[in-house]
Amino acid sequence: MIETSTPTVIQLPHIFDSLGSLGIIQGAELLPFQVNRVYFIHSVSEGAVRGSHAHKKLQQLIFAASGSFDLILNDGEKSLEFQLHDPTIAVQVPRGYWRTLHNFSADAVCMVLASTAYDESDYIRDYDEFLRWRKS
Ligand code: TYD
């Protein structure tokens, strides 16, 4: 059985003042991994479902910088669902979770901080293969 840690909801520090809000993601005390890549998803087609894959090693921090979407994380046995709509709340996604993102609002911006550079060989894109990998 593949060992993974548990997805965690993280409160992102913000400075709120009369000018607006400034969010900060900094330091090992906030994130258990070093950030080596940042990417973001926006202008999502209406009704689109993104993700539908797992990563063998990659760790990520995911949050809605704008708008809203739902993130489902599945460990091969049970699912956790997160409704992301607040830029001060992020989900830390450990390796080894099948993720699905859906219900994107038209203005949604999904920010992803990732532990490694893009590597297609780290993806598992077939759910049955994912189940076999989790049991291995
Ligand atoms: P994918 O991770 O499948 O997107 P999502 O999970 O949001 O549905 O990536 C979509 C495409 O973009 C795929 O062809 C791989 C490519 N891609 C990169 O080239 N670099 C990256 O950092 C990412 C995340 C994806």
Secondary structure, 3-state, the chain: CCCCCCCEEEECCEEEECCEEEECCCCCCCCCCCCCEEEEEECCCCCCCEEEEEECCCCEEEEEEECCEEEEEECCCCEEEEEECCCCEEEEECCCCEEEEECCCCCCEEEEEECCCCCHHHEECCHHHHHHHHHC
Residue 3 has pLDDT above 90, yes or no: no
At which residue do the structure tokens 């990417």 appear? 39
List the domain boundaries for the chain: 8-135
Is 1 a residue whose pLDDT tops 90?
A: no
Catalytic residues: 53
Going from the Cα of 126 to the center of ligand 1, the distance in angstroms, rounded, reads 15
User: From the CB of 89, is ligand 1 less than 6 Å away?
Assistant: no
pLDDT recorded at residue 47: 98
Query: What class, spelled out in words, does domain 8-135 have in CATH?
Result: mainly beta
Provide the 10 A C-beta neighbour count for residue 22. 10
Residue 116 has pLDDT above 90, yes or no: yes
Span 28-49, pLDDT tens digits: 889 989 999 999 999 999 999 9
Ligand 1 in reach of 7 Cβ (< 6 A) = no
> What residue owns the CA closest to ligand 1's atom 2?
51
Residue 2 reports pLDDT greater than 90:
no
What's the chain's average pLDDT? 97
**For residue range 54-80, what is the model confidence (pLDDT) as tens digits?**
999 999 999 999 999 999 999 999 999
